Amino acid sequence: MSNQQDDLSALLKDSGETTIEGAMAKAEAAVNSLDSVTLNIALTGESGAGKSSLINAMRGLQEPEEGSAPTDVNECTMVPTKYPHPTMPNVILWDLPGIGTGLFKPDNYLEKVKYQNYDFFIIVSASRFKANDLMLAKEIKEKKKNFYFVRSKTDNDVTQNERKGVKEEETLRKIRENCVANLKELGPPPVFLITANDLQRFDFEKLRDNLEKDLPENKRNVLLLSLPVYSKECLDQKYNAFKITAWAVAIASGAIATAPVPGMSLACDVTMVVAFLTKCYFSFGLNDESLQKISKLAGKPMLEIVRESLVVKALADDSLATTIATKLSAAGVAESMCSLVPGAGSTAAAGISFVTTRSVLLEMVKELYSEAKKVLEMAGVE
């Protein structure tokens, strides 16, 4: 009995609720939010500003990969164009026409692009921000939406100036000062210097921190998990997010464990765990496509090395369900016996399922994290 009480205490502690019913309801909402919470990111700026390259970088794609945004500098976006995330379709990046182009005049730009559909705006420029950019920011602010100024292609400026003997720090300072000077009417707001060629360089980390700070809690994780792993810090944050979310999957499986149908709990536990770990697998960049790309860049055969992990191999081969079923089967017998006992038996079944499933989840998430960390180390990413 004491073990069952410990299980239930752990369940309630992780959920932050005082009752099992409250914990299960909260868990169900958290699990559903992984797929149901949408995030629409709008990028706007003049043709050639680097919007398409940034859209691809934030989705972990490169042209001409399937689903990538075309980066032809001669191509001008004439209508809002959506680019869903390749593994998280609830995250969509929108390439908007530049303000003042074609039918998108400054006086009705936001209405034309249907501003209400986007969570926030990123205003992109490859040089100085201009009058139209300033006008757009003011309009967005009036509509009570958030906006962020991004100075793209910063690496090009740094490289060109280094050839002239100008240090990187001096180039970045001048770029920032020039951008901010044109936006002084707005406060001025911060300007983030980035390059789509390497999100780890310059200010992308600061941009992401600001986005997360301004987003509602349920959308912060969606943003974090959708971004490619571009640094060890990013990987660590993803890992922590998955560890925290694991309690919800474990508790949701406990809700199923209360059903007095032998075998039902185990089958549903496996389905939930596989779905959760599959999200982790893609978010950590351990799928074959991601590994092949980073292997090519680093000149090292990472795919073969990472596939030595049983969890990674099972996910790649769609055989993880069998592995998990074996791990959960022993607990499944105990759950089935408890769930046949009215009242307290169902509660005990939920507790057993929670502790067992959480243990399996955390063990496998840790293994996936270790493999992703190994990939970054081999690629020389800090």
pLDDT (tens digit per residue) in 15-41: 777 776 777 778 778 877 778 899 999
What's the rounded Cα separation, in Å, for the pair 218 and 207? Answer: 18
Residue where a domain stops, chosen among 226, 256, 289? 226
Domain hosting residue 159, numbered range? 38-226
Considering the domain architecture, whether residues 255 and 170 belong to the same structural domain is answered as no
Considering the domain architecture, whether residues 21 and 170 belong to the same structural domain is answered as no
**Helical packing angle, 20-36 and 264-283, nearest 10°:** 40
Query: In sequence order, which residues have a C-beta less than 8 Å from that of residue 108 and are 6 or more positions away?
Result: none
Element (H or E) spanning 83, and its range? strand 81-84
Q: Per the structure block, which two tokens stand in for 294?
A: 């980073």
pLDDT band at 353 (very low <50, low <70, confident <90, very high): low
Considering the domain architecture, whether residues 195 and 119 belong to the same structural domain is answered as yes
Check whether 341 has a pLDDT greater than 50.
no
Q: Which residues, in sequence order, are bridge partners of residue 274?
A: none
Residue where a domain stops, chosen among 205, 226, 247? 226
What's the rounded Cα separation, in Å, for the pair 112 and 352? Answer: 54
pTM of the model: 0.86
- Residue-averaged pLDDT of the chain: 83
Check whether 262 has a pLDDT greater than 80.
no
pLDDT (tens digit per residue) in 207-243: 999 999 999 988 998 999 999 999 999 999 999 999 9
Using DSSP's 3-state secondary structure scheme, residue 40 falls into: strand
CATH number at residue 56: 3.40.50.300
Considering the domain architecture, whether residues 255 and 333 belong to the same structural domain is answered as yes
- Please return the burial class of 377, using the count of CB atoms within 10 Å of its CB with bins 0-12, 13-18 and 19+: exposed
Using DSSP's 3-state secondary structure scheme, residue 14 falls into: helix
Q: Percentage of residues in the chain with pLDDT exceeding 70?
A: 83
Considering the domain architecture, whether residues 221 and 241 belong to the same structural domain is answered as no
Considering the domain architecture, whether residues 248 and 163 belong to the same structural domain is answered as no
Considering the domain architecture, whether residues 31 and 42 belong to the same structural domain is answered as no
Considering the domain architecture, whether residues 201 and 104 belong to the same structural domain is answered as yes
Residue where a domain stops, chosen among 226, 258, 275? 226
Q: How many domains in the chain?
A: 2
Using DSSP's 3-state secondary structure scheme, residue 41 falls into: strand
Considering the domain architecture, whether residues 107 and 149 belong to the same structural domain is answered as yes
What's the rounded Cα separation, in Å, for the pair 186 and 190? Answer: 10
pLDDT band at 347 (very low <50, low <70, confident <90, very high): very low
Considering the domain architecture, whether residues 215 and 176 belong to the same structural domain is answered as yes
Check whether 376 has a pLDDT greater than 90.
yes
What's the rounded Cα separation, in Å, for the pair 214 and 226? Answer: 17
Considering the domain architecture, whether residues 370 and 355 belong to the same structural domain is answered as yes
pLDDT band at 170 (very low <50, low <70, confident <90, very high): very high
The pLDDT score that the predictor gives to residue 257 is: 46
Give the mean pLDDT of 375-382: 89
Considering the domain architecture, whether residues 26 and 100 belong to the same structural domain is answered as no
- Please return the burial class of 225, using the count of CB atoms within 10 Å of its CB with bins 0-12, 13-18 and 19+: buried
